[in-house]
Structure 1
Amino acid sequence: MTTAIYAGSFDPFTIGHLSVLKEASCLFDKIIVAIADNPDKRRRINSDLMLKGIQKSVNELDFGLKIQVIKFDGLIADLAEKEHTKYLIRGIRNGIDYEYEENLAKINESFGLKTIYIRAGYLSHVSSSMVMELYKYGRDISQYVPAPVIEAIKLS
């Protein structure tokens, strides 16, 4: 069984993240969605609520494989070793994302990890920051995030 890790802050998890996850599900038998819970960074949405929102969003779709949602607070290389995988999934929206992700990929490569990039495609305009900005000003965000994630946002 081939496992991959899709790690991020997911603050919040958007339809762009969900699209990347759908594409990755065609490539791997198991995907671990790992919510980075860095105590040095302030989250906008409680990570426990986001975990539940992502899990509900995933459960509503039939991916045909096992998707596990977890929280972690360390190096992705350590998580990959613990989970016995060498594959990382990363979403790319544009050239700026690519430059940033490529630097991370080079570092992770030194730990024996392979990064699989998945383009956001027509969803390249969707970002967590944009979603939260719209939400802050009372705009409808339902076209940008799954319904269970909206509930997590409202509860945070």
Structure 2
Amino acid sequence: MTTLVLPGSFDPFTLGHLDLARRAAALADEVVIAVSHNPSKAGLLSLEQRRRAIEETLQAEGLAPRVRVEDLPAGLLVDFCRRIGARAVVRGLRSQLDLSYEEPMARMNAHLAQVDTVFLLTDQSLAHISSSLVREVHALGGPVEDMLPSASVEALRRV
């Protein structure tokens, strides 16, 4: 069985994340969306709220149970990959800047544990969407409904 890990903070889970999950599911038998707490990012949704919104989205999209959600424990991503038997990590690239950020981590994961990274170019229609920009637009009262699955929109409304 081929298992891929799609890691991130997903605060909130966007249509770009959903697109990556769909495309990763077409490449593997199983995809694990690993939800992390990133202490360097200002969080909006709790880990539980993020996980619930992702699970509701996966159910609505017919991706569950092949795509499932787990909390990413503190520590190395490669240790999590080893524990669940994943051979690769999936990362989306919106621009050259993303590649510059992701490449050293991909090389380190390969060095530490022979965990490959599969880079998927973000759909051009979604390349402007990031969780941090969605949080900013939301905080300033702007519309975010066309950038998020409905479960993420509802999670934001409850904050």
In structure 2, relative to structure 1, the CA distance for the partners of 1:83 and 1:97 (3 Å cut) is same
Q: 2:86 is matched with which residue?
A: 85
Aligned residue runs from structure 1 range 55-134, under 5 A: 55-63=55-63, 66-74=66-74, 75-110=76-111, 111-122=113-124, 123-134=126-137
Aligned residue in 2 for 1:149: 152
Instruction: Give the residue type in structure 1 aligned to 2:156.
Output: I
Query: What's the RMSD between the two structures over aligned residues?
Result: 1.5
Once structures 1 and 2 are overlaid, which stretch shifts more, 116-125 or 35-44? Answer: 35-44
3-state SS of 1:143 partner:
helix
- TM-score w.r.t. length of structure 2: 0.92
Shift of 1:64: 7.5
When residues 103 and 27 of structure 1 are mapped into structure 2, their CA distance, relative to the original with a 3 A threshold, is: same
Deviation at 1:63, TM superposition (A): 3.2
- Partner of 2:129, secondary structure, is coil
Cα pair distance change 1:134/1:39, threshold 3 Å: closer
Distance 1:33 1:71 in 2: 8
- Are 1:37 and 2:37 counterparts? yes
Match status 1:14 vs 2:14: yes
- How many percent identity over aligned positions? 29
Q: Deviations over 1:103-140 (max 9, x none)?
A: 11011011210000011121111111111111112122
In the alignment of these two chains, the number of paired residues is 156
What is the CA distance between 1:85 and its match in structure 2?
A: 1.4
Stretches of structure 1 that go unaligned for 5 or more consecutive residues are none
- Tell me the TM-score normalized by structure 1: 0.93
Offset of residue 68 of structure 1: 1.1
